[in-house]
Structure 1
Amino acid sequence: METISQEEFDRYAAKWLHVLTKRSSGDLQQCFLGANEVRMPYVSFPIEHIGWLISTVGSHHIEARFLVMSDGNDQKDRFVLALYAVDARGIRISAYYLAKPPKPAQLGADNAADMNTVAEQVPHYMVKKWLEYWNEAGELTPEMFVNSYGLLQGYTFSVDDFMKPLFNSQPFGAQELRVGLGLHKYFSALHYSKPTYTFGLVLRLYKPATPGEAGAVETSSEPFYDMSTPCPPGF
C-alpha cells in the first residue's frame, strides 16, 4: 500500500495544475502514458484498500484528486489518482491512497483488442462512449480538463459509489476497483455550437485473471458507478 503525506500531496497536486497551464500540451500527453508509452485507460485500487478507505469513521464523501508524480523507474512525470475520505464538513479524515497504473502487459499493442473487448462489456452505452472518446482522442488538450469553474482538480463521490462494489466482492480476494478514464461529450452553455469534451472518472469492480491460466482475461459483469461532481466547485 502506498500513501503520502499532506506535504507530498500538495506538491503533486500543484504539479498537476502546472502541467495544465503550460503553453505546450506535450507534458500533458506524456503524463497519461503508461509503461509501454500507451495511453492509460484506467488506474486501479486493490479492493482491500477501498475497504480501509470506507472503514474510516465519519466518512461522508470520497474525494478523488489528480496528481502528477515522477515515475520511480524512468523519472518521467505520470498522472496519479489519489483517494481520501472527508467528513460532512469536507475535512479530510483518512490517509491519501494512491492508485496503481495498469501493468505493462495490459498496455501493449498486442492487447489493443482486449481493451476494446473490455469496452464492449460495459453495460451502459453512455459510459462505453466516454471510454471510447478517451481511447480514441488524438491529442489531449488542457481544455479537456476545465469546467466552468476552472481547472479540474478531481471529483467528489458519494460513499455509496464505493460501498456498492464492496457488497459484490465478499469475501475480499484479488478483486480491484478500476477507475476508468473517460471523456464526457456534451454541448455547454458557452460553446453551444460545437461539442465539449471533459475528463471524467467511472468506477467498476474487476476480477484480475488468474496467473498462468490459459486464455484468461480480466472481466467484469458489474455495473459502472459515476455519480460524482467535479472539483471545483466542491470540497
Structure 2
Amino acid sequence: MIDSFVSPEIISQVDFDRHAAKWQQIITSRHHHHLQRCFHTAEDARMQYVRFPMQHIAWLVSTVGIHHIEARFLVMSEDEESPRFALALYAADARGLRISAYYLSAPQIAATAPTPPLHALTDPGAGAEQVPHYMVKKWLANWRDAPELKPDMFVNSYGPLQGYTFSVGDFMKSLFESQPYGARELWVDLGLHEYYSASLSTQATYTFGLVLRLYQPLLQVQEASDGTADSQSPAAQQSAEPFYDMSTPCPPGF
C-alpha cells in the first residue's frame, strides 16, 4: 500500500536555513550536474511531484492567524552526489511572518502509474483560483519533456526563485474535496510555465512553477502466488480533481 504517516515531518529553523541555502547554491552554480540530480527519483527518472498527507495540510491551514501559505524550495542531501529537491510549507500572517512549523514534503512514490486523461472540473468555490486542465497539461509536459534543466528556468526578473506564495483557499478547497482524509494526499506537481517576458526576446521563457492537486489512490487487489488476493496497491492516480496554481513567486513576494 501507499506509505502513510500521521506525525508531521517538521524541520527546525536551522535545518530550513541550511537546506534553503543549498538550493540557492545549486541554482547559481556554473555546474548543471547537481541541478539535474536534484530532480532525479530513486529510479533515475525525472521527479514529477512531491506530496503531503492531507492531515498535514489540515494542521497547516488550522494555524491561528494564517493569511497565506508559503512554499519554499529546499535541497536535501546526504552527500554532494545525491541532492534531492523538496518543499517546505508554512503559514504566514498578513505581514509575511512565519507563524507555523515548517512541514516537509515526502518524495515521489516509486513507479507511479501514468496519469490518465484529465476530466471536467468541479466548481472551484470561493477563494480558490482554479487553472484549466489544458493549460496545466502544457506546463507539466514542458517539465517532463525538457531535455535539460537549466538554471535560467529557476529565476525571474528579481533573481533566483526561492519558492511561491499561495492563497489559503487553494489548500482549503483540497480539504473540502478530501473528506475524510484517509490515504488522500496533496500532490504538488512540477511544471514549466511558457510565456514571453518583457525582454522583447522572440524566444519563449520557461520558468519553474508548482501546481496543487488532490491525489486519491485507486486500489487494486494483487493476486498472491497461490491465487488468493492478499494485498492492495496503488493502481493509478485520480486526475478528475481540480488543479490550483495562481501563486506569486518569491522574490518579489514574502
Contact 1:122 1:224 in 2 (8 A): no
Whole-Å separation in 2 of the counterparts to 1:137 and 1:202: 17
Contact 2:34 2:81 in 1 (8 A): no
1:165-206 deviations in whole A, cap 9, x for unaligned? 111111221110000000000000114311000000010101
1:20-59 deviations in whole A, cap 9, x for unaligned? 1111111000000011111111111001100000001011
Partner residue, 1:64: 71
Whole-Å separation in 2 of the counterparts to 1:122 and 1:8: 40
Give the 5 Å matches for 1:62-211: 62-70=69-77, 76-106=82-112, 111=113, 114-115=114-115, 117=116, 120-121=117-118, 124-210=133-219
Letter in 1 for 2:180: P
Regions of 4+ moved over 6 Å: none
Q: What secondary structure sits across from 1:105 in the alignment?
A: coil
Q: What secondary structure sits across from 1:201 in the alignment?
A: strand
Q: What secondary structure sits across from 1:216 in the alignment?
A: strand
Whole-Å separation in 2 of the counterparts to 1:7 and 1:139: 32
Whole-Å separation in 2 of the counterparts to 1:215 and 1:44: 15
Partner residue, 1:8: 15
Query: CA shift at 1:211, angstroms?
Result: 6.1
Q: Which runs of 5+ in 2 are unaligned?
A: 1-7, 121-132, 222-231
Alpha carbons of structure 1 residues 189 and 207: separation in structure 2 relative to 1, 3 Å: same
1:225 aligns with 2:232: no
1:37-92 deviations in whole A, cap 9, x for unaligned? 111111110011000000010110100000001159x9711001110000011110
Whole-Å separation in 2 of the counterparts to 1:122 and 1:145: 30
**Greater C-alpha Rg:** 2
Alpha carbons of structure 1 residues 93 and 211: separation in structure 2 relative to 1, 3 Å: farther
Whole-Å separation in 1 of the counterparts to 2:233 and 2:33: 39
Whole-Å separation in 1 of the counterparts to 2:28 and 2:64: 37
Letter in 2 for 1:172: Y
The structure with more helix, counted as a fraction of residues = 1
- Paired residue total: 225
Partner residue, 2:229: none
Query: CA shift at 1:214, angstroms?
Result: 7.8
Partner residue, 2:124: none
Contact 2:73 2:86 in 1 (8 A): yes
Contact 2:217 2:238 in 1 (8 A): yes
Whole-Å separation in 1 of the counterparts to 2:24 and 2:81: 19
Identity %, equivalent residues = 62
Q: Which runs of 5+ in 1 are unaligned?
A: none
TM-score norm. by structure 2 comes to 0.84
Q: What secondary structure sits across from 1:210 in the alignment?
A: strand
Whole-Å separation in 1 of the counterparts to 2:40 and 2:200: 29
The structure with more strand, counted as a fraction of residues = 2
Aligned-residue Cα RMSD (Å) equals 1.8
User: Which segment is superposed worse, 122-131 or 86-95?
Assistant: 122-131
User: Which segment is superposed worse, 168-177 or 223-232?
Assistant: 168-177
Q: What secondary structure sits across from 1:220 in the alignment?
A: coil
Alpha carbons of structure 1 residues 180 and 215: separation in structure 2 relative to 1, 3 Å: closer
Contact 1:32 1:39 in 2 (8 A): yes
